[in-house]
Amino acid sequence: MLAPRGDAWSQVQVVESANPSFLAVHPNQRCLYAINEIDVYEGRATGTAEAYAIDPRNGRLTLLNRQPLSLSGTIPAHVAVSPDGQHLAVALYGGGAYNVLPIGADGRLGSVSGLFKDTGSGPDTARQEAPHAHMVLFDPTGRHILGTDLGTDRINVFALEDGKLTPRDRAQLKPGGGPRHLALHPSGKLLYVISELDGTVACHGYDPATGRVLDERQRIATTPADYTGQKSGAALVMHPSGRFLYASNRRLKSEHPLADSIAAFSIDPASGRLAALQYWSEGLRFPRALTMADDGRHLYALSQKGDTILRLRIDDATGRLDQPAVVSNVPTPVCLVFAG
């Protein structure tokens, strides 16, 4: 746990946990939820989710409880809290499953109440041999959960009713793309998805009333035209103004200088289509995650193999990135959230 103090953040606390990855903060700012990216818990093939109380005086965490996830999936990959703070949604990469857990009045997690396990595969036999749920996202209504499946090239949409998951839509995307993360436009009517395997961002319409993903409007690369080597799209974040979108690329089998980079895009207000603004690579090493400051003034890039959190200023007029500053050195950072 870190306390922002200008250009250098100070460490407040280190909490021991089994391979924690993605985090989510309760809307009341009093609880933090973490998933444990594991495949065995107490001898069973499953992952876990943890609930922590946040001390409002100093931000320190106290473990409230830990809940095992369903036996239908392992290796939790993403987590989200419903807008009303009553449910936690989890995507399980291993097994391609989605879980919902109730959140009590005290912030503790109940046992799994909602479950959906996907089926199918994709054309990439190395990465798409089976379903791989990768992200969960509540839409603005709070009634629908959107989930990417890298293994089947789908976006699944569920209605959340009494803690249960009811399928509403199964949008089939470009074969072999491997959808990873999602970002909704502030209007609630535009949906963007970054695909890990082909390094692209696609723009779709979205109907929040029905939970339907509409036809693809555009697909644009997260790297420039002269890029060579393997692509690996990772994170995707929306600027709060709805005018800009940012996507990260992680270096795999490529010597291109932009293999580790952030692509900045402008968003056309009428069509939602993207236009590349900038590719930023300075100070990045395998940027697995991006976090947007609530005020939209800064973007934070987490270099999983560089052990740094890099802050970049966002030009309010153009959306371009500048003024890089390493605000913290953290071993293997993969997620950053702000609370309080």
Q: CA 19, CA 55: separation in Å to the nearest integer?
A: 23
- Residues near 105 by beta carbon (within 8 Å), at least 6 away in sequence: none
Sequential DSSP letters for 23-68: EEE-TTSSEEEEEE--S-BTTBS--EEEEEEEPTTT--EEEEEEEE
Residues, the chain:
340
Question: Among all chains, which residue has been given the structure tokens 């036999």?
Answer: 125
Closest by CA to 99, choosing from 156, 150, 14, is 156
**3-state percent breakdown (helix, strand, coil) of the chain, nearest 5:** 0, 50, 50
CB-CB contact of 100 with 165 (8 Å) = yes
CB-CB contact of 31 with 53 (8 Å) = yes
pLDDT (tens, 9 = 90+) of the chain, 340 residues, equals: 677 766 779 899 999 999 999 999 999 999 999 999 999 999 999 999 999 999 999 999 999 999 999 988 899 999 999 999 999 999 999 999 999 999 999 999 999 999 999 999 999 999 999 999 999 999 999 999 999 999 999 999 999 999 999 999 999 999 999 999 999 999 999 999 999 999 999 999 999 999 999 999 999 999 999 999 899 999 999 999 999 999 999 999 899 999 999 999 999 999 999 999 999 999 999 999 999 999 999 999 999 999 999 999 999 999 999 999 999 999 999 999 999 8
Q: Indicate the domain borders of the chain.
A: 232-340
Give Cα separations from 142 to 84, 271, 328 (angstroms): 7, 25, 34
* Architecture in CATH for domain 232-340: 6 Propeller (2.120)
